[in-house]
Amino acid sequence: MRNLFLVFILAIAAYSCTKDYDLQLKSDNARLVVEGTISDQKGPYLIRLTKSRFKLHFEQRANASDTSYSYTTPYDGVEAVQDAEVYITDKNTSVTDTLEKCPTGKWVHYKDPNSDFVKSYFYVSDTSIIMGYYKTTTLKGIPGHTYALTIKWQNQEYHAESYMPPVPALDSVQFKFTQGEIGKSNYNIPLIYFKEPQNERNYYLFKTQAVYGWPYSILSDEYLKSYVNGLDVCKGVTPDYWVTNYPYDFIGSYFIEMHSITKEGYEYYKALIQQFKTDGGGYSPSPASPPTNLDNGALGFFRASAVNRVDFKTNENHEWVW
């Protein structure tokens, strides 16, 4: 959804970069929005907290001499929540991790090698607390465990729980070279091979290094056989035309991530994708908030996923190796 928001923000910013634009949502009507994932990969894991409102004011002021700064709004125009208390508990071990605010940013000083000119600027990362990000300190995700999220903010508490399903091991990954149509680039179709557990319902989220647009697809194993003999990871439910997520033959690196998700997580992403496909026509469903596992009126989703990741690079013969 961030890509859609960014398009809207840039359209308004084209008129002015100094004026405050408020979408006239009263502050007391703004709801907490939570985005966060716990995985079995190396941490720290991130939880992002924002408000369900926009205030499109792009301005940054900084003073390199005393390291004071003012940054009014994150890059995507969403108001970040920077004063919350965030906790995640492993319900199988009863161990609780108190999350820390991610670093605000840092000063970067650059000296021109051909002169005495020194340029200083305040660098804000994409995961700064200014963007609403909090990070774990000790937690390590374990498949089969259930994780409970607790957020305390403005005299309210919000809760969510998520089970981390196991994810099948990938036996191999292959690329099928495909000749592009006239005027379009050649590309490679990534195919994965793995044993699919039977007699149980499993749901997966695939993330790829998308060239354009949304990098995710989701899939239910309802029609998968006991051995998946070459699954195109971009053919799950996705709002983008499938070729946008395929690696072109000249890309030097690419990755595939296979995430286990719960049925609730599958329904959440499915609803998000449906929002992308809603064109506002008379036969389109009315926009609605995606289902959430958070209580007390919060929006968003907290999920726990086991992950298999494969990284690739092209060699001098433009062959994919991993």
User: Is the predicted pLDDT of residue 281 greater than 50, yes or no?
Assistant: yes
Q: Which of 131, 163, 195 is the last residue of a domain?
A: 163
User: Is the predicted pLDDT of residue 85 greater than 90, yes or no?
Assistant: yes
Q: Tell me: do 113 and 133 sit in the same domain.
A: yes
Pick 90 or 211 by higher pLDDT.
90
Concatenate the DSSP letters of all residues of 149-204 into one string.
Answer: EEEEETTEEEEEEEE----PPEEEEEEEEEPPPTTS--EEEEEEEEEPPPSS--EE
Q: Tell me: do 221 and 270 sit in the same domain.
A: yes
Q: Tell me: do 149 and 283 sit in the same domain.
A: no
Q: Tell me: do 19 and 158 sit in the same domain.
A: yes
Q: Tell me: do 134 and 193 sit in the same domain.
A: no
* Structure confidence at residue 11 as a pLDDT band (50, 70, 90): very low
Give kind and range of the element (H or E) at residue 6. Answer: helix 2-13
pLDDT in tens, 177-236: 777 677 667 777 888 999 999 889 999 999 887 655 677 888 999 888 999 999 887 766
Q: Tell me: do 295 and 268 sit in the same domain.
A: yes
Q: Tell me: do 76 and 193 sit in the same domain.
A: no
Q: Tell me: do 112 and 190 sit in the same domain.
A: no
| Domain coverage including residue 152 | 2-163
Say which DSSP state 273 is in.
H
Q: Tell me: do 10 and 152 sit in the same domain.
A: yes
- Please provide the average confidence, as pLDDT, over all residues in the chain: 78
Q: Which amino acid is at 91?
A: K
* Structure confidence at residue 98 as a pLDDT band (50, 70, 90): very high
For the chain, how many structural domains are there in total? 2
For residues 214, 218, 224 and 230, what is the CA-based torsion angle, rounded to 10 degrees? 30
Average pLDDT for 73-98: 88
User: Is the predicted pLDDT of residue 12 greater than 70, yes or no?
Assistant: no
SS (H, E, C) 119-160: EEEEECCCCCHHHCEEECCCCCCCCCCEEEEEEEECCEEEEE
pTM, full prediction: 0.78
Q: What angle do CA 196, 275, 230 make, to 5 degrees?
A: 25
Q: Which of 130, 163, 196 is the last residue of a domain?
A: 163
Structure tokens at 75: 């890059």
Pick 13 or 154 by higher pLDDT.
154
Q: Which of 111, 129, 163 is the last residue of a domain?
A: 163
Structure tokens at 249: 């033959």
Q: Tell me: do 117 and 219 sit in the same domain.
A: no
Q: Tell me: do 241 and 109 sit in the same domain.
A: no
Q: Tell me: do 125 and 13 sit in the same domain.
A: yes
Pick 252 or 144 by higher pLDDT.
144
User: Is the predicted pLDDT of residue 15 greater than 50, yes or no?
Assistant: no
Peptide bond into 44 cis (omega under 30): yes
Lowest mean pLDDT among 48-52, 116-120, 151-155: 116-120
User: Is the predicted pLDDT of residue 60 greater than 60, yes or no?
Assistant: no
